[in-house]
Every structure is written in C-alpha cells, then in structure tokens.
Amino acid sequence: MPNATIKRYIRHGMLPQLSVFEAVARTSSFTKAADELHLAQPTVSAQIKKLSENLQISLFEQIGKKIYLTAAGEILYEGCESLFKNLSHIEESISALRDLEGGRLRLAVSTSGKYFVPRLLAEFVKMHPKIEISLQIHNRSELIERLSNNEDDLYIFSNPPIEMEVVCQPILPNPMVVFARNDHPLAGKKSLAADALKNEFFIMRELGSGTRMVCNEFFDRHKIRPKVQMTLSSNEAIKQAILAGLGISILSQYTLGLDTEEPRLVALDIEGFPIQLKWQFIYPVGKQTSSVTRAFMDFVRKEAFLLVKDHTFM
C-alpha cells in the first residue's frame, strides 16, 4: 500500500516534475535539460516552479548566469538518483522476465510425477539457465492445500480437484495398474475378473493421496472390500514391500521409473485395468500466468511424450 508521501507525489503529478528536476540538476542548465527532454524551456521552468511550490521550498538558486542546487535541491537530487536507479532495475527485471532471461518457476507436483518432471525441468533449465526453479513434491491433499493458498505458479495433478475452480490442461497419460511380484499366483494369467482381487492382500498409499483415491473408487465400483496389509506413504516403499512378498498394489505404471525395468515386478491382467488417468497442468481460474510459466507449459507439451514414449508400459 503506497504511503502518504507517494500518494502525495502521485496526486500532485510530481513524478514527471522529478524527471525534469533531475535533468536540470544533472546538466546545471534549463536549456540543456529542455533539449534532452524535448521540451520548451518555459515548460521546464514551469515544471520546476510547480515542484518547488509543491515541496514549499526552493530547489535552485541562480548566481550570475549559473544555477546551483540549494541544500533542499541536493537532498532531492540524491533521492532522485536512487529512485530512478530503482525504477530502471524494475524495468530491467521485467524485461528479463519477458525474454526468459530471469525470473522463477515455482512448480508443485504429485508424488508419481517425480519420475518425469525433474527431467523435463533439467532440459528446460538448459535452455533458460538464468531461471530459478523450485520443485515441491506432495500427495494430492497437500497439493490441493497449496493450490487453495496460491503458493505456487503451476501444479501437476493426476486427479485434479473438482471442488475448486481451476484450469486443466492435459500433458501425458498416467495409467494405473495392479503390481505384483513375478512369482505371484496371478502373474501371467490373462483377462482376470476384478473378483480375483478379493482375497489378495493390498499395500496401500496413505489417505489423502491421489493413488489411494483411485484405489477406493475401483473397490467401491466392484464392491470389493480390500484386505489392507499395510499403508505406506511413498511409492518406493510400496515397491519394496511388493518385492518382499507382502502383497500387491495399485500404482502408476511410472512407479518403475523411466530408465530401468524391475523384472521381479509385473502388472496383472485385471478387468478394468489399466485405469486411464492423465497428468494435467492445473492453476486457479483467474491466475495470471507468467511468461516463464507459459514457456514451461509450451515446452512440456512438446517434449513430455518424447521422454516417456519408450517406457516399458507405453
């Protein structure tokens, strides 16, 4: 909120007067200042007179044919130098944002998105090394809280919130599958009914995660009461629990990562799977996206599929 001094300067039109004053003070000449500002000399004199009246103090004194700053003028000139330097810095910073030579991107993604988003960010930063990047990784409920508080520039969800007014733009498919260890009794069997899961022990993500929400919707739809062996807060922990023979789990296909295959894990052929979800860009309706944010979104639309197209499950 502007303080009283700034309000007064704006109300009395003193900012343009300061520009004229700075030129006169720097050149020690009304004539030179008029030429520099492309103004008539009487206009320059009138502006200085108005500024002196607004401040209720003389800013210049004339001795012979030369003009000099008064004590008040020297104080004002020093302030003008600081003011115009700050304004110049602001303009340069805004220009850098327009040209993607600066600025920042605050990105928040779901836990399954951590398998591909950092790579996209790395490629984006190579193109725009002066952009400052912040990446937050959270489960769905935490992302929604950050979204409601407008804490970030952009969000990537697989299950966008329906209770908020948001803009949704699809990026990539995010299929959900049933993972089991490769020696599981159901491994290798074809076209199994959903009922085949009734007696299986499940390893689940925590309440509030998008993955848990998808699981619960599937179980409700097929009237299955899952036997929850344990609840874990990370996909990596669940993967290790599956490999330890503690049960099966419904996870994003990308839980295996993008580089290496895990031969001990298989996706079961179950009715209703894969559940076809999509990662999406999300931001609140009415949010003014920055040039950096828009550039990143454009980049991802072009490059994301190329990054994951050779993944095992694509």
Summarize pLDDT for 11-50 with one digit per residue, the tens. 556 778 888 999 999 999 999 999 988 999 999 999 999 9
Q: Which CATH number fits domain 4-98: 3.30.420.40, 3.30.465.10, 1.10.10.10, 3.30.56.10?
A: 1.10.10.10
Does 67 have pLDDT greater than 50?
A: yes
Residue recorded with tokens 């629990």: 241
pLDDT at 101 over 80: no
The CATH topology of domain 104-173+278-308 is D-Maltodextrin-Binding Protein; domain 2 (3.40.190)
Between the alpha carbon of residue 255 and those of residues 112, 114, 200, 217, 226, the distances in Å are: 7, 9, 20, 20, 21
Q: Which CATH superfamily is domain 176-268 in?
A: Periplasmic binding protein-like II (3.40.190.10)
Q: Predicted confidence band at 70 (pLDDT cuts at 50, 70, 90)?
A: very high
| Shared fold status for 104-173+278-308 and 176-268 | yes
Mean pLDDT of the chain: 86
pLDDT recorded at residue 129: 87
Residue 193: per-residue pLDDT: 95
**What is the residue whose two structure tokens read 């639309």?**
301
DSSP state of 313: T
The 8-class DSSP code of residue 181 comes to: E
Instruction: Domain ranges for the chain, please list them.
Output: 4-98, 104-173+278-308, 176-268
Amino acid 92: pLDDT: 58
Q: How confident is the model at residue 7 (pLDDT cuts 50, 70, 90)?
A: low
Q: What is the pLDDT of residues 105-139, one digit of tens each?
A: 899 998 888 878 888 898 898 888 888 899 999 98
This prediction has a pTM of: 0.64
